[in-house]
Structure formats: C-alpha cells, structure tokens
C-alpha cells in the first residue's frame, strides 16, 4: 500500500516536472536500439533537488590482467553522466521476470560516445519517472507497429461490434459498428487529486501544430478513486469525419478536461495517431 501511494505521488510530480523532454518508450524497449541519449533536463531538475538518490545505472568495469575473467559492475547515479552523450546498444535487451509479480523488467546496454565506457540501465517499463534520458534521434516506427494492440468484442445485448485501442491509456479511440453503420469516438483519461462537487463538461484538444479541437458539451465522468486519493476522469466524444481526419494527421500535444490539463509526450502522440490509423484503415 505504501509503495502504491509513493508511486502515485511521484507520478503526479513527474507529470508536472518532466514534460516532453524526457523520452520514455514504455514496454517497447526495442525502439531504444541504436538511439543516442543525453540526461533529461527535467530529470536533472527534479532529482538534483530531491532526497531520492537513484542508482539504476551500472558502469561495466573491465577486470585487470591476471584477475578473474569477468566484468564487475559499479553502481552510479544517472546524474553522473550529465554532459555525456550515450548510445543504446543494438543488441536485444536482457529481460528479467519478477517471480512474484510476473512483471518484465529489462537491462539495457549503453555506451558513452565521449569515453567509450559501457553501462547497464535497470529499466522498468511501467515507471517513466525512473528513466533519465532524452532520446535525441528521431523516432521511427514501422507501419502497423501497434495494430496488434487493438481489440474487438461484440456486445451480447445490442449486437454492436466494438473495436478499440488500449483503454488504459490517456488517449484511446473506439470504433462502433451497428448494422453496417460505423461511428468513431475519442476517449480521454485525466487524473486529479481533487474532486469537483458539480458536473464537469467541456474538452479542448491542442495539437502540436497549434490548432485546437473543442467539444463544449462533452460530459466528463468520474471513474474511480485510487487508494492514494487520485481521481480518474473520463471523457468520451463522438467524432465527425472532419475531426477524425484531423486527429489522424495531427499529433496531440495536450488536452483540457474542464479545467484539468494533461500533457502528452511525443511518443504517446505518435502512438495515438498510429493506433487511430490502424482503426480506420
């Protein structure tokens, strides 16, 4: 319980502190391969003033001659690599599975382009605020890369066919087919530590090109309250063809649900567009 509360609090701080400069590809660890990285300014600003001193990186120390033929590892703080540029190895990441939670973690190999030193990063695909890097190379995602994450089900009461992108993410899209008639919906999640005492309406979606999409009458529902006191809000809006086309081409930068703002990093934006195109094609 204490761990869950601690993580939830840090997640809120990370939303405020990290912004778009920290790159995090979640479980898609293969996207880091061959990419250059530097210490994120947001990570530096947050952990430089924090009592939390994470040592999730190990420097690989080559053994001295006549010693045992095995590398030794020296734990370091990621901030020790400030000012350096590193590159992720092209090798397949080393996967480890927690025997109790069954969650997969990874060990990612990196190399300093300045000194040639090698490092291992302990990588948790579920916790973005532990990740210290900004990826400085452009993200390239193959066509259809996320399409296998789309699910489909049939409503046994109405007969509607519901096809949707992962619903646990901040941005999701839903396709409903009813007797040959197809409708598309945008689904947004937002998190807040406060609970409004009155009904919330109104959603504004801001795209990276500066344009906006506004849904003034969109209702915002309260889904649940976590153990740490964080409320989850849901907005779901039917999309016309013009808006659907706009969202399939323009990357979302942020959205506002009533007065609560949510920022989307570039990877989340790219993934949302990719999933929408999977859904509509």
Taken in order of first residue, the domains within the chain and their CATH numbers are 2-135 (no CATH), 147-280 (2.60.40)
Using one digit for the tens of pLDDT, what is the confidence trace for 25-57? 999 999 999 999 999 999 999 899 888 888 999
Structure-block tokens of residue 210: 């500066």
Identify the weakest region by mean pLDDT among 35-49, 187-201, 253-267: 187-201
Residue 21 confidence (pLDDT): 66
Between 68 and 271, name the one with better pLDDT: 271
Residue found by looking up tokens 């997640």 in the block: 11
| Residue 244 CA: distances (Å) to CA of 78, 130, 185, 193, 279 | 42, 35, 9, 31, 11
Nearest alpha carbon to residue 27 among 119, 140, 131: 131
Predicted confidence band at 20 (pLDDT cuts at 50, 70, 90)?
A: very low
DSSP annotation of 138: P
Assess contact for 226 and 8: CB atoms under 8 A.
Answer: yes
Q: What angle do CA 39, 40, 46 make, to 5 degrees?
A: 110
Q: Is residue 4's pLDDT more than 60?
A: no
Predicted confidence band at 143 (pLDDT cuts at 50, 70, 90)?
A: confident
Residue 200 confidence (pLDDT): 80
Count CA atoms within 13 Å of residue 280 on its CB side.
19
Structure-block tokens of residue 125: 């695909």
Residue 49 confidence (pLDDT): 85
Residue 12 confidence (pLDDT): 38
Give the pLDDT mean for 159-172: 96
Give the pLDDT mean for 162-188: 96
Predicted confidence band at 250 (pLDDT cuts at 50, 70, 90)?
A: very high
All residues at 6 or more sequence positions from 274 whose CB lies less than 8 Å from its CB, including other chains: 141, 145, 146, 147
DSSP annotation of 148: G
Beta pairing, strands 212-225 & 231-239:
antiparallel
Report how far residue 73's alpha carbon sits from residue 111's, in angstroms, rounded to the nearest whole number.
14
Torsion-angle region of residue 34: left (phi > 0), alpha (psi -120 to 50) or beta?
left
Burial grade of 95 (CB within 10 A; 0-12, 13-18, 19 or more):
exposed
Residue 63 confidence (pLDDT): 65
Give percent of the chain with pLDDT exceeding 90.
Answer: 66
pTM for the full model? 0.81
Assess contact for 219 and 209: CB atoms under 8 A.
Answer: no
Assess contact for 228 and 213: CB atoms under 8 A.
Answer: no
Burial grade of 221 (CB within 10 A; 0-12, 13-18, 19 or more):
exposed
Nearest alpha carbon to residue 193 among 13, 42, 51: 13
Report how far residue 36's alpha carbon sits from residue 222's, in angstroms, rounded to the nearest whole number.
41
Give the pLDDT mean for 115-129: 94
Residue 17 confidence (pLDDT): 37
All residues at 6 or more sequence positions from 3 whose CB lies less than 8 Å from its CB, including other chains: none
Residue 50 confidence (pLDDT): 87
Report how far residue 73's alpha carbon sits from residue 69's, in angstroms, rounded to the nearest whole number.
13
Highest mean pLDDT among 93-102, 141-150, 198-207: 141-150
Identify the weakest region by mean pLDDT among 25-34, 155-164, 189-198: 189-198
Predicted confidence band at 9 (pLDDT cuts at 50, 70, 90)?
A: very low
Using one digit for the tens of pLDDT, what is the confidence trace for 207-233? 999 999 999 999 999 887 666 778 889
Beta pairing, strands 118-123 & 57-61:
antiparallel
């Amino acid at each position: 319980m204490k761990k869950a509360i601690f993580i939830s609090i840090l997640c809120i701080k990370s939303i405020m502190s990290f912004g778009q400069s920290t790159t995090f590809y979640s479980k898609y660890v293969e996207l880091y391969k061959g990419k250059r990285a530097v210490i994120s300014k947001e990570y530096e600003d947050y952990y430089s003033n924090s009592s939390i001193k994470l040592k999730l990186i190990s420097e690989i120390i080559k053994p001295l001659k006549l010693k045992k033929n095995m590398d030794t590892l020296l734990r370091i703080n990621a901030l020790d690599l400030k000012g350096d540029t590193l590159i992720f190895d092209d090798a397949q990441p080393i996967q480890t599975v927690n025997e109790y939670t069954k969650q997969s973690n990874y060990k990612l190999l990196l190399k300093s382009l300045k000194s040639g030193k090698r490092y291992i990063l302990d990588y948790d695909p579920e916790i973005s605020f532990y990740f210290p890097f900004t990826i400085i190379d452009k993200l390239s995602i193959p066509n259809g890369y996320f399409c296998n994450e789309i699910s489909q089900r049939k409503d046994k009461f109405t007969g509607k066919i519901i096809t949707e992108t992962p619903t646990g993410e901040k941005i999701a899209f839903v396709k409903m087919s009813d007797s040959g008639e197809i409708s598309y919906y945008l689904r947004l999640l937002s998190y807040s530590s406060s609970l409004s005492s009155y009904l919330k309406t109104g959603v504004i979606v801001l795209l990276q090109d500066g344009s906006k999409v506004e849904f003034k009458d969109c209702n915002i529902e309260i889904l649940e309250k976590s153990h740490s006191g964080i409320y989850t809000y849901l907005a779901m809006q039917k999309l016309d063809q013009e808006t659907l086309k706009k969202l399939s081409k323009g990357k979302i930068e942020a959205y506002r649900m009533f007065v609560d703002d949510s920022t989307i990093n570039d990877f989340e934006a790219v993934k949302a567009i990719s999933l929408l195109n999977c859904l509509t094609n």
